[in-house]
Amino acid sequence: MKRIRVDSTVIVLGILILVIAVGAILVATVGRSFFSPGNIRDILTGMSVLGLVAIGQTLVILGASLDLSVTYVISLASLIAATTMNGNPANIPWAVTLTLIVCAAIGLANGLIVTVLKVNGFIATLGVGLILQGVLNTGFQGSAGSVPWAFQLIGATGVGPLPVSWIIMIALAAVVWFLLGRTRTGAHLFAVGGDPEVARLSGVRTKPPLIVAHVLCSVFAGLAGLLLASRLGVGSPTVGQQGGYALLSIAAVVLGGTLLMGGRGSVWGTIGGVAIFAVVDNVMSVMQVNPFLKDVVRGVVIVAAVAVYSRRAIVRRRTRFGPGGTRTGGDAPAEAAAPAMVAATQALEAEADAADGSASMQGGAR
């Protein structure tokens, strides 16, 4: 009876529109315009870093893993990039390459620990994150390196109201969307996250998709680190932790309708989740709300959104999967399907009778 299934991306979009509407009204009450190009630009700029991290996080969460090491990867990436560039524009390509290679290696380590050693993703990436924190603490006393102006432009320029960093983030989201929807790796990642046993019995190699997801997640964290280095002009060993990106990115992914248990979700939902955070933050800073309240509001948004999803999940669970699942309380689709099934049954039986007849004739001829 109650069997609403709205695509989660639609819910996210709905919440986003609601947040924007409320935000616009609130901003208007203090005599400012929410939709001014400057403000939109602020919001979009606020989305870029978290967006990059959350895209990567979406991949691992779809595979029913997690990545808590992203904060440290971000810090490390900013340092590697800034110290390698060392103020010289000629070093930019090499610095970016090196940073991403190191990040990919960390992601590979995460992926191998999760798949081969079969350590739960939460613990595996927590451990790797702590190791990285140790490296950061002992290797760097504070900010280090210097980012040349050419590279700083990435974080500072824009096309109209659209910041370059945001455009890059959206373009990469599109790439990931394509990866998830149109490649075997993507399909298998959904399968492994949804039910590893089903995937295995269907002949899917279960390790590679999750390893790829972890590598990409760390690379995306590395890109976020590069972007932060470009904005700050230096590398910082604490920039990741200050942003609280690990938990915030997970929150954005979940807010975006991706199942924390894996197997269901979308990258656009995640972008929606990131946008909701960005709008909420923007409204509160325009209104000069005190920082404590800011965190409270964020927390309320996350909890409320997930509460909406889990209500939906409860309704869904009533039509259980597989044996033992008595279908309950007047299930509309089942009822609707019933006449079709009866008709189909009759048609099939008639046909099967005919087939039987001809088959036995063949049998006779044999």
Partner 1 sequence: MSDTMLSDAPVPSGGSDVVLRAQGISKSFFGVRVLTDIDIDVRRGEVHGLVGENGAGKSTLMKILAGVHHADAGSVEFEGRQVAFSHPRQAMDAGLVTVFQEFNLLPERTVAQNVFLGREPRRGGFVDDKGMQRHTRTLLEGLGVTFIDPGARVGSLTVAEQQIVEIVKALSFDARVISMDEPTAALSDHEVELLYAIIRKLTARGVAVVYVSHRLKEIFDLCDRITILKDGALVSTDATADLTDAELVRRMVGRPLQSYFPGPVEGTAVGEARLELTGCGNEFVDGVSLTLRAGEIVGLAGLQGSGRTELVEGIFGVHGFTRGVVTLDGRSVRFTSPRTAVRAGLALVTEDRKAQGLALGQSVLDNSLLVVRSVFAGRTRASRKRVPGILSSLEVSSRGVDQEARFLSGGNQQKVVLAKWLVTDPQVVLFDEPTRGIDVGAKVAVYQLMRQLAAEGKAVLMVSSELPEVIGMSDRILVMRDGELAAELPARSAEHEVLAAATGSIDAGAAADEIADPRLGDGGDRS
Assigned token pair, 328:
């309950």
Site string for partner 1, 225-264 (x = CB under 8 A): ----------------------------------x---xx
- Lookup result for tokens 């203090």: 30
Size of the site for partner 1 (CB under 8 A): 60
Give 130 or 352: the residue with its C-beta nearer to partner 1: 352
Q: Cβ contacts of residue 247 below 8 Å, gap of 6+? A: 68
CB of residue 186 to partner 1, shortest distance in Å: 8
18 versus 337: smaller Cβ distance to partner 1? 337
The span of 116-124, 136-144, 201-209, 242-250 binding partner 1 (CB under 8 A) equals 201-209
| Closest by Cα among 253, 260, 259, 241 to 277 | 253
Residue 61 Cβ, how far from partner 1 at the closest point, in Å?
Answer: 13
- Segment near partner 1 (CB under 8 A); pick from 39-47, 183-191, 275-283, 290-298: 183-191
Decide if 270 contacts 55 (C-beta within 8 A): yes
CA atoms within 13 A on the CB side of 239: 31
CB atoms < 10 A from the CB of 334, how many?
Answer: 13
138 φ, ψ to 5°? -85, -30
Under 8 Å between Cβ of 12 and 253: no
Q: Which of residues 67-126 bind partner 1 (CB under 8 A)?
A: none
Give 303 or 348: the residue with its C-beta nearer to partner 1.
348
| Cβ within 8 Å of residue 20, ≥6 positions away | 34, 279
DSSP states along 61-91: HHTT----THHHHHHHHHHHHHHHHTT-GGG
Interaction of residue 194 with partner 1, rule CB under 8 A:
yes
- Return the number of the residue (295 or 351) whose C-beta is nearest partner 1: 351
d(CA 323, CA 310) in angstroms, rounded, equals: 23
Considering only residues 297 to 336 of the shown chain, the ones binding partner 1 according to CB under 8 A are: 316, 319-331, 333-335
Give me the residues that bind partner 1 (CB under 8 A), please. Answer: 5, 181-184, 186-188, 190-191, 194-195, 197-199, 201-204, 259, 263-264, 316, 319-331, 333-335, 337-338, 340-342, 344-345, 347-349, 351-353, 355-357, 359-360, 362-363, 366
